[in-house]
Amino acid sequence: MQSGAGLFASVVKRMKRPSTKTTTRTKRPNPPCPKCKGTFVRRILPRKGIEQILWRLFVYPFRCQLCLHRYMALQLFRRYKIELGDMREYERLRAQLPISFSGDQCEGTGTTVDLSMKGCWIESEQRVRKGTLLRISLTGPDGRTRVEAKMAAVRWSLGRGFGVEFITMEPDHRERLESIVRTCWECKVREEAQKDAVDSPKPAKAVKVSPPRVTRVVPRPKEKAS
């Protein structure tokens, strides 16, 4: 019978033994938007009051990134960790598109760095102050689609770049913007899927080893003396 010290040593040895199994965690998707049935949604911060109580009961607020619908959804036993990026309700997607803007005190052209349904970040040689109201014209990736915002407010200004929020936009232009944002999001999903496929470990191929060939040596009969 194995002693207590020997049993403890064997248990520790098993715990230190490296595991050959590969575990992969699948990212749990967010609940789809109940209005447009889209899956491009983002979890956002709760409002003060009842939503903070529901947060503790696994009921979280979400914002659809295309139709802008805000809704609550139950995510049983799923606890979220609040991060700094959660303060933004709309996800900015990488998009380099030509853009022009004009206001009472400035006018110029530039290129978008990122884009969402509520705004974008613009890099331009023209310096624009925070709080300036602009009229913006954006050209889509195909070079033909034109999206115009009759009124956009500069919320951030830093060096050669500034961030704007779309305030007034006609419904047909908003549909064009939604199509552009959807295209940018689909490109991002494809890039992430390709990256995951490259980073995921591939199972090693089993090598079939054939048993060694054994040659049986038969002794020759001795010759009888004449």
**Residue 84 has what pLDDT?**
75
Per CATH, is 93-196 categorized as 3.40.50.2300?
no
Collapse the DSSP code of 61 into the 3-class scheme (helix H, G, I; strand E, B; otherwise coil) and give the result: strand
**Residue 20 has what pLDDT?**
47
- Measure the CA–CA gap between 91 and 114, rounded to whole angstroms: 9
pLDDT tens digit sequence for 161-217: 999 999 999 999 999 999 999 999 999 999 998 888 887 766 666 666 566 665 565
**Low-confidence spans in the chain with pLDDT less than 70:** 1-27, 201-226
HEC profile for 76-133?
CCCCCCCCHHHHCCCCCEECCCEEEEECCCCEEEEEEEEECCCEEEEECCCCCCCCCE
**Residue 81 has what pLDDT?**
81
**Residue 85 has what pLDDT?**
73
Using the structure block, give the residue that is written with the tokens 């997607």.
93
**Residue 206 has what pLDDT?**
60
Q: Where are the domains of the chain?
A: 29-89, 93-196
**Residue 3 has what pLDDT?**
55
